[in-house]
Structure formats: C-alpha cells, structure tokens
Structure 1
Amino acid sequence: MAEEYDVESVISKIINANESTWDPEEIMPLIIKEIDQRKVDVRKFIDNCDYDIEAIVAESDELRIESQDLVDEMETCKQEIEEEAMVEIIQSLDSHDKIAKELQSVNFALNIVDDVIRCSEYMKQFDEGREAQSFSRAIEAIDELMQFIETPTSGFKQLELYESTKNTAQLILDDLLHDLNEEWEKMISFSMDLQNHKTIITMNIILDESENCKDVLVALDNTQNLVGKISAFARILKEDVLTPILKHDCSIYSATDETATITINYKPNFTPPYNVVIANMKLLFQFINNKFNIKYSENKTLMKIFGQLINADFCEMMINDCLVNTIPNNINDLQCYDKVTSDIQDFQYFLTVINLFPEEGLTLLKYMDNIDVLFSHRSSQYFLETARSIMLKDLSITMSIGVEKIPDEQMNSENYSVDTYTEEALDTFGKTLPKSLFYFPRCMISKTARELLDLVYLIMEQAAQCSDVVCKKMYYTVRLIFELYDAVVPYSHENYLQTIPQYVALFHNNCMYLAHNLQTLGDKWLSLMDDRELDYSIGFLDLVQKLRELGYKHLTMHMQQQRKQILDNIRSSDLNCIVVKDVLGENAEAAVRQCLRQLQLLKNVWIGVFPSNVFTKLMATLVNMFVDELIHRVCTVEDISMEMATQLTEIYTLVVQKAPQLFQNTSDVETYVKSWIKLQELIFVLGGSLKDIENHWNDGTGPLAVHFNVEELRSLIKALFQNTQFRANLLSKIK
C-alpha cells in the first residue's frame, strides 16, 4: 500500500504549482485531512494483515529481557577475570622473563664453546695438511680460520684465546707464504751474466704435472698470490728478454726441457729483421708454453694467466718496435708486402694456439688499419735521411749542366689547335717572360745537386701512385728537403766554403740550379695529379728566392773575403805610405803581383765553373775594386817625386798588361771594369807632361775630363809637378 502511495502527486493536488503565491493557513487543513485519511488506511491494512503484530511485539520484549540478563552475566565474568586471572598472568610473565634470560646465558656460553671447537677443528685440519705435506690443504684451513675469526660470536673477542688464535693464525699464514715463495723461486728463476758487448740470460722453469707442483700452484691461487707471481715473471721477461729480442741481435737455445739460454749481442746501429724476431719469439714462447701449460685447477692453466697479463703489452711492443719497421719506404715494395703480412698471420695463429693471444679482439696486424699513414711517415723519414746523406757528400765531384746559348726559335704551334684568345694569351706570355727563365746556362754543378733533384722527382712519381694521404705527406717532405738543404749544406761544408773558392762557386751554382727547377716543379707535380681533388695547394715558388739568397749570401761572403785579402796586400805595402816616401820599396810591386796571382788563381778555379756571364761579372767586380784602390792610393797624395811616379807607372802598367788575361776575352776588361780607362789615364798622367795633360783635358772634353773629376785631376797635377806658371795656367783651365 505504501509503494502505491505517491506523496508528490498528493502535494501537487493540494498546492497548485501555477500559483505564484499561496497561504499556508489555507493549505494546512487540507494536509491534516490527508494525514487522517492515511491513518485510517493504515489501521485497515493492519487489521487485514496475515501477521500477528501484537504477538511479534510481545516476543520482542521477551528477547530484550534475555539479552539484558546475558549482558549482566558477562559483566560479572569480566570482574572475576580482572580480580583473579590477571594476578596469575603477571606471575607467569615474570617466570617467563627469568627463563628467557637463563636460556640466553646458556646460548651465549654455547656459542663461545662452539667457536672454540671450530677454531680447534681448523687448527686440526691445518696440522693434517702439514703432515700430508699439502700446502693447499694447510692454506685452506688457515684461510678459513682467518675468515672465521674476523666475524666471531659476541663475547669471543673478549677471551684471551681470541687474540692468541688470531696472532697464531697470522704467523702460520706468513710462514706458509714464505715457504710458498721459496717453492716458486725453485720452480722459476732467472740468472744474468753481463759481459763485454754481450748479456747471457739463463731461465729455469721446473714445472710438471706432479701432485706436489699442482699443490703449490693451488695454494698460491687460494692466497691470491699466483697472479702476482706470474705478473712479476711477465714483467722481468718483458724488460730483460722480450725488449732485447726486438732491438738487438739475440739467439735462444734450450739446453734441456727446463732451461733456456738467451744470448744478447749488442751491436751498434743494428736492428734485427722481423723474421728473425718472430723466430726467436716462437722459440721462447714454445719453451714457456711447454712448462706453463699445466692444468692445476678446473679450466685453469698458467699459460692462460700469463697470456692475459702480457698479451696487450706484447702486441704493442711487437708493432711499435718491430712490425712497423717492416713497412717499406717505396710503393713497389709496398705492393709486395703480402709476404710480410702472411708471416705475421702465421705468428698470430701460433700465439693463439698456445693461448698467449685470445681468439678474437687482439691482432698484430692492427697497424695495417693505418698503413697509409705509417707508409707516408716511413717514406718521408727514409727520403729525408737519404736527402741528408746526399747533402753531406763531397761538393767537388762535378758535372756539366745547362745550355751554351739560349735557342732563338719559337715554339712550333702548328700542331696545336687553339682559339684566337688562347693564341693572343700565348703571344703575350712569350713577350712578357724572358726565354732565359726556361733555360739554365752552361756551368758546373755538384753531382749531389743533380742526385738530390733526382730524388725529388722519384718522390713525386711515387706520390702520384699513392693515396691522397701519402701524396700530401710526400709533398711536404719535398718542401722539407729543400728547407733541410738550407740548414745542412752550409753547416757541414762550412770550412770548405770559407777557404776554397771552387766550393763556393759550386755551392752557388747548386743553389741556382735547384731554384731554377723549383720554378716549374709545382706545375710538374700538378700535371701528375690531374684526376685528383686536392685539399691543399702545391707550389714551390716561395722556396726559389730562399735558395737563391742562400747562394748569393755565401758568394757575397767569399767575395768580401777576396776583397779583404787584396786590400790587405796593398795596404800592407809601401803603396799605403806614398805620402811619406820619395821612393817605393820592392814590396809595392810584390803586393801588386800577389794581388794579380790571387785573381789569376780565382780565374783558374772559377772559369768553366760559373756561367760565363757570372764569371765575367765577378772577376770584373774584383778587378775594378783592385784598380780603384790603386787609383785611390795616388789621387790622395799631395806630393809625388819623379822617381816614385816612374815606379808607379811601371807597377800600374804591369796591371794593365796582366788584368785583361784574367777574363775569357781580353776585351771584357774594357767593357765590365768601370775604372779600367781611368787607370790607363792615370798612367798617362804619371808619365806625361803638363802639355800632354792639357791636350787630354781638352777644355773639359778629353778623356781626362770623362774619367776624373776636377778635384782629383787638380790634386794629381799639384802632386806631380812643381809650382810653375804653366802649371798655374793649366790649373786655372781645369775648373
């Protein structure tokens, strides 16, 4: 009935939702009426219901009374428990704590006793190992004892037994380690005998498959000392045996299965061939493998440990001190390098078989990854050393080079098909550059200069066949060669360049010859690299002037030295004392003759060595300096006697007679010696009269006026002639 009653619908009937305002007093009677009606409906429902509501209510009252009785009974039990049982529980807890403390005390004592017993058992095991002469069992027992006493039961450390046991165990362990060291030294030992230029190393390895030997190895392994022992052996082997085998003449001989003798012979400038080094290494490692290949424990051998300790260092040593040196220094040998790599691969396989090298991850051929770089360095070093050895050779071994005369014919362009612009460019090029730029004049050079240039061309040809890395290195090597020439040749031949004129001439020609070829060397190099894209520029023009200046420098120094000798000869004679003497001594003519002999000697050693034009200019420079000095000696004197004038005429006439013979063509003296005519005019003045001088002056148009300035001529006339009216008239004309 309640489910069918809808309160919302009833309210909506009473109150109209559309009305915005309503009065509660009007609504309340309607609501009360509805409530009364609902009460009547409820009463009817109860009267008509099948259940006995009054009986249910009565039964509920009875249940409530019984529940209250149970609650009262439980409250009574609670009070009894709190008053009686709680006392017994507290007494039980006190008894339990006492028993627990007693049990803890018993357990504490029991644990200490157990530790003492275990220490005793370890010591008993040690004694049994020693009685059985087993290092491994003894070491194992002591090691376990040492580990056990590090974490003892609480209270055990406070016993005197703990400290005594710990100290005793440490002493026993130290003694065992000492005995193990002695056993190892008996098994593996080195002895070294140092002699003159020789060292003999004897290596003894006494290892076998016996139980005693394995027992020692296991004991060392258990104490973590085996790796250290093998590491020390590897270090000695590397420093005293492997390194000498790589660098010196060595021989290895195995007298017995347990002894090997390594003889090291110290030879200067000796490097053993790679195949000899490999053969010696095979003998040595085969001997070691025969003794170290002992399986002392599961999957453990000394050779594996030895290999792990030494393989990386040995690989680097072999590569850096031996295998890198096998890289050839020329492209032809590099193309035949397979034989070397095959030998190295065989050696690698041998090292892998004896467990010195792992099967993967380590290879002796790893240097081949940078073969181009190594080859370029090797070649560069070889070529630089070769170039330096050439530079140190004697410069006096000569050869003729160059052309006598520059050809007049033009390049025949009939075979070339060029456009108009190219033809005009070639024509302009031919008119702008002198032909002499492409020709070297006939002269003598040292064969070493040609040999050095041939070496450069060889480097260039090899570079064209190599990779870009090598090609670039070769280019810079060639540049270094010419820079090395500047540093090495003047220093190594310093004494000769200071004292021997022919050496100076040859060195000058060598510099000019190399500089001449450097002008076109860059173009020749580029012509071989047409199909390559280079990331660097190729050129040698910056070195041309440097080499020329090197030749000029030493030639100039020698010319200054020759000039000083000539001036010293003249100034040490009476020619330097004309002003205080009336007559010249014999040393004046001797000094002039000495200067002429000096110049004649230079002609003998220079003619045919220098190019003809260079020889002429050099000789003309020295002769002109010589003549200028002779003229200066006379023109600066205030008084010259008749006898001295006659002597000077004879001496200077000797110079006029001899000097032309110093040139290839006697007429060259007039062309290239600037003061030559002046000397002849001076001789004329010394032997002539005032009238002759007046005629040669010819009112400022004669030869005297051309070659002498006014002050020089006036001073010379005053020194030679007395003060007469005629002299005064002549001097008045010379203005």
Structure 2
Amino acid sequence: MMDSFVAGVLATSGKLEKEDLANKICKISRKVEDTKEGVCDMITKKYKEFLPSLQGSEELMVQLEKIAKEMDVLRNSVETEVQQNIHSSVAENAKMKQQLDKNTVILTMLGHLKEFHNAMEGFNQALAENRYVEAAKLLEKAQSVDSLKTWKTSKLPLLCALASELIVQRENFIYHLGDEWRRLATWKLPSSKEPTNPRCSLKTELKLTLHCRKDGDPGCPALLSCILQALAIQGDLHYKIKLFSQVLIKNMLKPLVVYRGLSVKVVEHSDGPVLTVEHLESDFQQEHSTPSQVYTKLLLVLKTLHAHLLDVSVGETKLSTILGELIWEELSHCIIHECLVYSIPTKSSQLENYNAVIKETKEFEGALKEMQYLQSDSTDLLKYAKDVNCHFASKKCKDVIVAARKLMTAKMHNTVRIKPETKLTLPKLPAPPGPKQQQQTLKPSFGEEQQQEEEVRLDGHRQLSSRTLCLPVCRISESVQQLMELALSTLREAVGSSTQCAMQLFFTVRNIFQLFYDVVPTYHKENLLKFPHLAAIQHNNCMYLAHHLLTLGHHFRPHLPQPLSDGITTFVDMVPSFRKLGAQCFLAQLNVQKAELLERLSSARNFSNLDDEENYTAASKAVRQVIHQLKQLGIVWQDVLPVNIYCKVMGSLLNTAISEVMAKIMMLEDISSEDGEHLHTLCQTLIEEGPLVFVPLAEERKNATYQEEVPLFVEKWITFKELVIVLRANLQEIVNRWAEGKGPLALEFSSSDMKSLVRALFQNTERRALALTKIK
C-alpha cells in the first residue's frame, strides 16, 4: 500500500525513476512472451491438430486485449514523462551554454585588448630604437583590434578610440619610413615648367646616402634592409619603388638613351655617391647614340644603384629585381626605338658588322641579369637585335618607298636624253648556283643592251641589228631614271639575302611601280592637261618603265632565293598597265590640242565670202593660228618624243586641221573666182608651212626621208592637195584629173562631192553641164 502511494506520488510529480520503468517493462515483456506462447499453442491446435478449443481461444483473446491496454498505458506514461524531462534538460542546458558563451566572448575581447596594448607598447619602444622590422610586425599584430568591429559591442567608445590610435600610429610609422627612404635617395630635378630638352636634363642629380646609426657606427646594409622590409610588411614598398622608378627612367635613363650629347658622372663622397647628368659636347647634335654608348651609360647608372641601394633582399626578392620589373619594359622600348632602330644597316654588305651590336646587347643583358635586374632569358631587346635581317628589310623598304614617293612628286620637266647606246647600269650579280649556272646568258635588251662583239644570226643571210629592241631616242624625267636605279639597287640588296628579306625587298620594288601608277597621274593631273611638254614626258616615262619591266625580273630571278627563283619574280604583268597609262595621258593632251585647233578654225567664218576683207582677215588669222600652234607643239615635242611617235602625233593634228578646212570648203554652195583665189592662197599656206613641223632636228638628219613622208602621217594630205588644185583649175583640167573615175581626183573624192564642188566654183553653163556629165 505504501509502495503504491509512493509510486503514485512520484508519477504525478513527473519524476518516475528509471528502475520503476524498467521493472514495468520487464513485467510486460514476460506477459507478452506468455501470451505469445499461448497464442502459438492455440493456433497449432486449431489449424494443425484440429482439437476443439473455442473456450481456450476466447480466454486468450480476453487476456491479449488486457495486455494490449496495459501496453498503451505504459507507452503513454513513458512518452509523457520522458519527453517532459528532455525538454526541461534542454532548456536548462541552453541557458547555461548562453551564459558560458557570453563569458567566453568577454574573455576573448579582454584578451585582444591585452594583446593590442602590449603590441602598441612594444611598437613604440621598437620604433624609438629604430627596430623597424619588429615595429612593423608589432603594428601588424595590433591590427587584431579590427576584429572587434564585427562584434555587437564594437560601438563602445573604448574600441573606437583604439581604432583611431591604430590609424594614427600606422600613418606615423609609414611617414617615418618614407622619411628614411627619402634620405636614402635624394633627387634634384629640373622644374616641370621647363620644356623637355637635353639642356634641361643637365639639372638632374641623384644623391645616394649611406645611412649611419645615431651612435655613429655605420650600419647601412642592416638598416637599409630593415627599412625596406618594414615598408614591405606595411605594403608600401612597391609604391615607393614605383615612384622612384618613374623619376629614374624619365629624368635620367631615357635622356641618356635619346640624347647623344648626354652622359652621367658618378662622384664618390664620404656619405655616398652622387650621379649627375652632364654633356659630352659643346652643342647637342641630333645624331643618335650608338648601342655601345647607350649600354655604357645605362650600366654606369644601374651598377651604382645596385652597389649602394638595390643590392638588398626583401623576403626572397632582391630590390633590384623589383625595380627591374618596373622599368625594363619601358626602358627596352626606348632603347629599341631611339637607338637600335637607327643602328640597323642600310646596305646588306653592312649586316655582318652588326654582329658586334648583337654581342654588345647580349653582354648588356648579361650584366643586368647578374645584378638581378632581369630574370628572363629571352627579352624583346635581344630578340630585336637578333632579327636584324627583318629589320634591315623593313627599314630598307620604308626608306625606298619614301625616296620613291619623293621622286614621284618631284618636278617632271627636268629631263635626260635617252639614246640607243644609253645603258641602264645593271649590278654585277654572282653566278647562279647549280644547273642554272649553265643556262644561256640573257640577251640585254632595251636600254640595258650592251655592245655585242658578234651580231646574232637569224639564218645564213640575215642578222639582227645591234639596236634591236632598244628604246628610241627620247627624253624622260630625271626622277624616273633615278626611280629605276632605285629599283635596281633594291633588287640588288635582295640578292644573297634571306628568303624573308628578299621577299620584302622584291615586293617593295613592285610597290614602287604600283605607287608610280597610282600617284603620278593624280599628283600631276592638272599640269599633265595644261602643259603639252609634261604630257609628252609622262608618256615617255611610262614607256620607259614598261620597257625595262619586261626584262627586269628575268635578270634577277636566277640569283634570288626560293620561291622567288621559281618564277614569281616578274614585272611583265605590269607592262600593259604602264603602256596604257602613258597612252591615255598623251591622248588626253592630244584631244585638248585638237579641240584648240578646231576652236581656232571656228573663227574663220566658214571660209565664205572671202572677197570681203574682214572675212578674209578672219580666215587668214585662223589659218596662221593653226600653223603657229602646230609649230609651237613641234618645238615642245620634237626633242622629247621618239621620232615615230612625234611624226604620228603631228600628222594627226595637221590632218585634223586640213580635214576641218576641207569640210568647210565643201559646204560652200557658191565660190566666186576671187573666193577661189583666196581659198587657194590659204590652203597653199597650209601646204607649204604644215610639213615644216616634220623637218628633223640637226642630229636626226639621217631620218629626214622618214620624217618628210607627210602623206604617211597625214591621212587627208593628198585629198587636200587635190582640193587646192581644183580651186584654181578650169573645167577641162578637172575633167582630165577625174579621168573617167580613174584619175587622182577620183581616188580622193566621190562623184557627188566633186559635182557639188564644180557647181560651187563655176557658173551654170553648157560647158559645166558637159563636165558634170563626165564626172560619174
């Protein structure tokens, strides 16, 4: 009874002990086992032994239901009581943990405050004793106060004061280190307002001070190392070196490279060396320094800096390495574009001597690597020097194009006379290697022709003249002749060069001619239309170039490297373009002259009513102007154009003039005897003075017959002469010259034209009618 009471009290209080629960669980377990055995026994008897046991089955069912109810009560009791205990324990533990965490945070914060105080005390003491590395580390340790900023309690006035103190002390430390750094390297620089020039650089001075401790004992290496390492710890070293490098390269290194007259002087003092920029010459020439001079000056500066300032390690890195990484790219670029580019040879024969520059560049970089300014084995500077062949070709090509353009824009009227014996001086080329050496020698042609001891035989009876395929006598611009010589010298440079160099030079020569084709007609366009003299010269220039382009590539091809020697070395494809260009230019001028001739003849009042003095004067003036124009053109062109071209051109112009005169005369419906005389006089003037433009020059008398064959060049010349005869002939003479359609008149005129002319010249009589019947 007492036990049940105690158990009930404990159960109601929610503090049932584990032993009671265990006992109940054991009892239930035993009842379950007993029930399990009973059920199994009943099932066996019911389904296996077929014994009637209904009553036993009902008792077991009642017992099973009772046990199930007790299990439910026990389960509910366990779940209720145990869960209540669990929730209570968890709440108590959470409260205790929260209190513990709060105490831990407070203790951690107090520990940080203690560390901060100790670090700041140690920092101040180390800074006072110039122990910069230790001071920098302690200052970094004091940075732990920054972690307090993330706490909820960071708004405390104490923490704000500590953060401010940390900032003040750090800035003070950096300033102190900066002051020490400035005393290591002191610059004296020209005013930024002064213009940039070599004389301005003479005011540049750099003083390197050897630091000594306060007690007077020198301790430069150790103290310098401390300053640099402290700057590195504070993250300010790279910035200081960067500022120093910018001043160094702008005010000392670059001027030494750019200006030939500048040098650097190093004067040793007790407290350190002084580097001063000085001039070597009384005046500053614009010539560029040689690579050797530049390397010597730069090494003097960099070796002095390395010996007194930069030969210090910061961590695992040398200070010279840091400076080298900052200045090398800009310095090497300056050396290349202000020195090496001007040292590239202008002739292929000088390329072998450039090996000295390559060697000097390699030694310069070797010295920098030894001082640890450079780390890489391959630099742009040495690579540029070694690629001298490519740079030579590029420089040569650039110079050639500039020179060619200058020649193309030069005045065209400065001319030279080309004669059959005039030879284009071809360079002496080495014999081509291999089987090509056995090939037949190229026959010189055009202006390149050389005198042959034996004439070439076509068969047993006929021979080629020594002047076969030679340029006829003419005048070309002196600049064009120089342009051709420039092309020859450029191709000569390609012989014996590397494949890439030869390719560049060959295509540069092609570009020269293409540039001529594009530039000259545009640049001289107005003058070529305005001045007949220049148009003729331009015609000759184009023909001269086309003439030599035929064989130019053929002459050099065997001596050039592949693939140039395989057949792509040719200029023949440009020949038609140049011939067309010269012809178009001169034809344009020829059309201008024809238009002027027709305009002058338009003032002749159609050659009608010449018995009127004013009409005759106008017609006579027009004819005289035509003759004058032809003579002036003859004076301008005869010494310039080849004789055959000159005769064709003047013949064409004269033909234009007489064709216009004939057309106007044939249009007249009534020609009086006086008009006929006047017309005869005017036409006779053309017949007498027109051929004078074909009279050869004194040195061309041997071609007199060729030039005096006027009918060969003037298509309407015979027709015009027949017209002049008709103007003074009687009807019988006209009929006789017609000769029933077989005479000279019938060869030049149609029957209808001749009948119209007869009707205009003669009155309507039986004789005229009879004569007209015979003209058929």
Change (3 A) 1:287 1:587: farther
Which one-letter code corresponds to 2:125 in the other structure?
E
Partner of 1:61: none
Partner of 2:110: 113
2:358·2:385 contact (CA, 8 Å) conserved in 1? no
The one of 601, 608, 611 equivalent to 2:632 is 601
Pairwise CA distance, 1:334: 0.8
> Secondary structure at 1:336's aligned position in 2?
helix
Output the CA distance in 2 between the equivalents of 1:270 and 1:637.
79
Change (3 A) 1:100 1:731: closer
In the superposition, the TM-score normalised over structure 2's length comes to 0.69
Output the CA distance in 1 between the equivalents of 2:177 and 2:126.
14
Pairwise CA distance, 1:271: 5.2
Pairwise CA distance, 1:366: 1.7
Between Structure 1 and Structure 2, whose CA radius of gyration is higher?
1
- CA offsets, 1:121-178, max 9 Å, x none? 1222333355457765554433221145337997774654333322432344345445
The one of 392, 397, 401 equivalent to 1:375 is 392
2:357·2:385 contact (CA, 8 Å) conserved in 1? no
Pairwise CA distance, 1:733: 3.9
Partner of 1:198: 197
1:513 and 2:544 correspond: yes
Pairwise CA distance, 1:580: 9.8
Output the CA distance in 2 between the equivalents of 1:681 and 1:323.
79
Output the CA distance in 2 between the equivalents of 1:269 and 1:720.
85
Pairwise CA distance, 1:182: 6.4
1:474 and 2:505 correspond: yes
2:133·2:227 contact (CA, 8 Å) conserved in 1? yes
Output the CA distance in 2 between the equivalents of 1:611 and 1:349.
66
Change (3 A) 1:716 1:160: same
1:545 and 2:545 correspond: no
Pairwise CA distance, 1:609: 2.9
Pairwise CA distance, 1:399: 2.9
The one of 744, 765, 773 equivalent to 1:703 is 744
Partner of 1:364: 381
Pairwise CA distance, 1:680: 1.6
Output the CA distance in 2 between the equivalents of 1:644 and 1:220.
115
The one of 364, 376, 388 equivalent to 2:405 is 388
Pairwise CA distance, 1:206: 4.6
1:319-718 matches, within 5 Å, as 319-358=336-375, 360-362=377-379, 364-395=381-412, 396-402=414-420, 438-494=469-525, 496-529=527-560, 537-571=568-602, 573-576=603-606, 578=608, 582-583=612-613, 584-663=615-694, 664=696, 665=704, 667-718=708-759
Q: Point out the more displaced range, 179-188 or 633-642.
A: 179-188
Pairwise CA distance, 1:392: 4.0
- CA offsets, 1:349-370, max 9 Å, x none? 4433544333844473223554
Output the CA distance in 2 between the equivalents of 1:241 and 1:501.
60
Which one-letter code corresponds to 1:515 in the other structure?
A
Partner of 2:449: none
Partner of 1:315: 332
Change (3 A) 1:352 1:536: farther
Which one-letter code corresponds to 2:360 in the other structure?
D
Partner of 1:51: none
Output the CA distance in 2 between the equivalents of 1:448 and 1:101.
101
Output the CA distance in 2 between the equivalents of 1:184 and 1:651.
104
Output the CA distance in 1 between the equivalents of 2:212 and 2:417.
81
1:638·1:719 contact (CA, 8 Å) conserved in 2? yes
- CA offsets, 1:410-453, max 9 Å, x none? xxxxxx999xxxxxxx979x99x999873332333334333333
Partner of 2:312: 295
Change (3 A) 1:335 1:103: closer
- CA offsets, 1:25-81, max 9 Å, x none? xxxxxxxxxxxxxxxxxxxxxxxxxxxxxxxxxxxxxxxxxxxxxxxxxxxxxxxxx
Q: Point out the more displaced range, 670-679 or 540-549.
A: 670-679
Output the CA distance in 1 between the equivalents of 2:638 and 2:181.
82
- CA offsets, 1:682-702, max 9 Å, x none? 222223333333332233222
Pairwise CA distance, 1:495: 5.0
Partner of 1:3: none
Pairwise CA distance, 1:107: 5.3
> Secondary structure at 2:495's aligned position in 1?
helix
Taking only the aligned residue pairs, the percentage that are identical comes to 25
Change (3 A) 1:232 1:103: same
Change (3 A) 1:689 1:282: farther
Q: Point out the more displaced range, 499-508 or 266-275.
A: 266-275
Q: Point out the more displaced range, 266-275 or 622-631.
A: 266-275
Which one-letter code corresponds to 1:574 in the other structure?
A
Pairwise CA distance, 1:552: 0.8
1:441·1:611 contact (CA, 8 Å) conserved in 2? yes
1:220 and 2:231 correspond: yes
2:559·2:565 contact (CA, 8 Å) conserved in 1? no
Pairwise CA distance, 1:333: 0.7
CA RMSD of aligned residues (A): 4.3
1:252·1:284 contact (CA, 8 Å) conserved in 2? no
Aligned length: 623
Partner of 2:162: 165
Which one-letter code corresponds to 1:706 in the other structure?
L
> Secondary structure at 1:609's aligned position in 2?
coil
Pairwise CA distance, 1:675: 1.1
Pairwise CA distance, 1:332: 0.5
Output the CA distance in 2 between the equivalents of 1:280 and 1:614.
66
Which one-letter code corresponds to 2:418 in the other structure?
S
Q: Point out the more displaced range, 439-448 or 293-302.
A: 293-302
Which one-letter code corresponds to 1:710 in the other structure?
S
Pairwise CA distance, 1:556: 1.1
Structure 1's unaligned 5+ residue stretches are: 1-92, 405-415, 419-425
